A and B are shown apart, each in its own frame.
Chain A
Amino acid sequence: MTTRTYDRYPMAWLLPVLVPVLLFTLYPVAQVLYTSLHQVIVIMPVEPFVGLENYRQVVLSPGFREALVNSVVFALVTAPLTIIIGFGVARLLLMRFFGRGLLRAVVILPWVLPGAISAVVWMWILHPSWGILNLGLYHLGIIDRYIPWLTDPQLARLSVVLAFVWTQFPFASILLMAALGGIDRGLYEAALVDGANAWQRFRFITFPSIKPVVVVLAIYQSLVALTSYDLVYALTAGGPGTATTLLSFQIWKESFSMMNFGTGSAVGFILVILSLAFMAAIIKALPAAIIRSG
């Protein structure tokens, strides 16, 4: 029986989720927009309307531009890296080997561990003077001087990227496993008969089949990178200097350390607008089957 009629009272099922989710999404966005158009400094009793003045201040400040560049670079580096590593892992997890069940469960560990704990663990590995990595490399005779993993600007960026990708690749792997598993086996057999080599099989069968998932992942991972905060913050606190200060942390800086909620909200609203663009892209790229209802 496929009814084409509409069900009555659908909202009774939905409202308990829809109301809180929308309340905690729309109100905060509206509030951030409002604050960004006013001068809101904690000690000042009045909050005059200042139009786009906060945005002007923010866009002209070197701190914002630096954070924006850092965030964009961070996203452009981590998203492809996450997908490439995620693909390799997905491919591996679909093969047969001893202990696969255990490994599959262990693989999602980096993704679900509390960010603060990942940060502690990576801190313990990367700490410039007490970290286990320097200790090991030094004792093995590979390096003769400790490497400043978190205190040299370039190395700190690298460390933060690696730690972040470590926390993100399992999610990419899961989606790519699903996509890879859905490919028709017959295509590969036909390709083998036609004498296609491994690269050609990837280029003409595997990649076209998983492309929709790769596109969605690329957008999603860029968005996650653009808005991430806890791991990077706990590892480097945005330093050394401003080398690893991301946009998300810039909001925090403007709002809570400079106590200027107007400019902090302006940065926040810019981030919201950016993420809305990414969301529109995701909705466009999603396979219709996932969105289609009923």
Chain B
Amino acid sequence: MRRLLVHLAALLLFLLCAGPIGLSLFASVVPDQAIFSFPPNWFGYSATSDNYRYIFTGRIPATYLTAGANRNMISDAARQVPAGMLNSMLVALGVMAVNIILGAPAAYAFARLRFRGQTATFLAIVMSRLVPAVALITPFYLLIQAMQLLGTKAALIIVHSVLTLPFTVLILTIFFRRIPRDIEDAALLDGCSRTQVFLRIVLPLSRTSIFATGIFAFILSYAEFLFALVLSGDAANRPLSVVMAALARNTDVSWGLLNASVCLAVIPTVALIGIVWRFVVEALLERGAEFS
């Protein structure tokens, strides 16, 4: 009985988290009139990839030409989705690289070195993320403008790196503290410098955690909206979140197209989420802790 309840609760939670995306996937492959048919006839129409084909090739699906579709609208705003995804992924890759290259040494210093102002600088970096970005949007704009980077991918890479580095430093500091000190101490006694210890021992030992934490930064950058909106400039550079937000408020897009866009847009996040859970979250939780 108790086991049954647990499984039922688990199923409910699964539907709550994945259900909305599942519904989107379903709605993206059936014609709109199937969803709005009455009496409901959701499965009476054959599945179609027309919405996806339109997004990539611009070929208007036949169902939009027949009368009676509830929202027989189409807009080439949906066609910006693939380019938006590419823009966002390029930016996110840059952010991931910056996070790994700059974040790992900083985290190592917090985990292993001792210096004056250690706690203060650590808190300054970690807490900086809690200053509401929305209040600072105009000065960010002015800074990027002063660097003459408005409308470039570099601008977003810089800003997203500043926003994600606090997370990376926090997570990696925890990971580095967990590495047994003995190996490093032995190497130091043998005359290795801190830099050599970091490069030859710590990096190889924790490359999975570092990579997975970088992936987390990738996901956060891919999801960011506000700065993407203000700093990205013209259509060619527009990141995905901006394209999606425009779609959400565009009444000329059919549900089928909108949902096909959603399903394409979430692919990177869904594909990478397992890595983050397995190598970041699960590793941060003490292993083996369990309630029966």
Contact = CB atoms under 8 A, between A and B. Distances in A.
Contacts of B65: none
A283 B123 contact: yes
A7 B113 contact: yes
Contact of B135 (A94, A107, A109, A271): A271
Contact of B161 (A18, A20, A278): A20
A107 B13 contact: yes
B13 A115 contact: no
B112 A130 contact: no
A248 B291 contact: no
Contacts of B102: 16-17
A89 to B, nearest CB: 6
Among B106, B188, B224, B240, the one with the most A-chain Cβ atoms within 10 Å of its Cβ is: B106
Interface in A39-89: 89
A94 B289 contact: yes
Classify the interface of chain A: helix, strand, loop or mixed. helix
A139 interface: yes
A257 to B, nearest CB: 14
Interface residues of B, number: 107
B223 A18 contact: no
A118 to B, nearest CB: 8
Nearest to A272: B135
Contacts of B166: 21
Interface in A95-111: 95-100, 103-110
Contacts of B39: 139
Given A21-B128, A117-B266, A124-B24, A130 B255 contact: yes
A263 B164 CA distance: 29
Interface string B66-109: 00001100000000000000000000000000000011011011
Interface stretch (B45-53, B56-64, B205-213, B269-277): B269-277
Contacts of A230: 225-226, 245
Contacts of B23: 121, 124-125, 132
Given A7-B194, A103-B10, A108 B281 contact: yes
A32 to B, nearest CB: 6
A128 B158 CA distance: 40
A115 B289 contact: no
Contact of B289 (A107, A121, A182, A272): A182
B149 interface: no
B265 A114 contact: yes
Contact of B38 (A97, A100, A139, A180): A139
A31 B185 contact: no
A99 B13 CA distance: 12
A99 to B, nearest CB: 7
B52 to A, nearest CB: 16
B222 A114 contact: yes
Nearest to B71: A130
Contacts of B114: 3-7, 293-294
B193 to A, nearest CB: 11
B55 interface: no
Among B35, B135, B284, the one with the most A-chain Cβ atoms within 10 Å of its Cβ is: B135
Contacts of B3: 97
A210 interface: no
A114 B7 contact: no
Interface in A257-288: 261, 264-265, 267-269, 271-272, 275-276, 278-279, 282-283
B116 interface: yes
Interface stretch (A22-30, A149-157, A190-198): A22-30
Contact of B269 (A94, A113, A166): A113
Interface in B146-172: 158-159, 161-162, 165-166, 169
Interface string B99-135: 0001101101111111110110111110110111111
Contacts of A279: 127, 130-131
A255 interface: yes
A181 B273 contact: no
A112 B130 contact: no
A68 to B, nearest CB: 14
Nearest to B9: A92
Interface string A196-230: 00000000000000000000000010010011011
Given A13-B108, A32-B138, A122-B20, A22 B128 contact: yes
B155 to A, nearest CB: 12
Contacts of A121: 20-21, 23-24, 262
Given A116-B244, A227-B134, A13 B291 contact: no
A5 B38 CA distance: 77
B14 interface: yes
A251 interface: yes
B225 A105 contact: no
Contacts of A223: 130
Contacts of A137: none
A124 B27 contact: yes
14 contacts: A1-B185, A13-B108, A25-B128, A27-B143, A29-B139, A32-B135, A108-B281, A109-B17, A123-B248, A124-B24, A124-B27, A227-B132, A230-B226, A272-B135
Given A21-B128, A28-B136, A272-B131, 4 more contacts: A89-B13, A95-B6, A103-B10, A120-B261
Give the 5 A-B CB pairs with smallest separation, nearest first. A181-B289, A268-B135, A28-B139, A13-B109, A227-B132
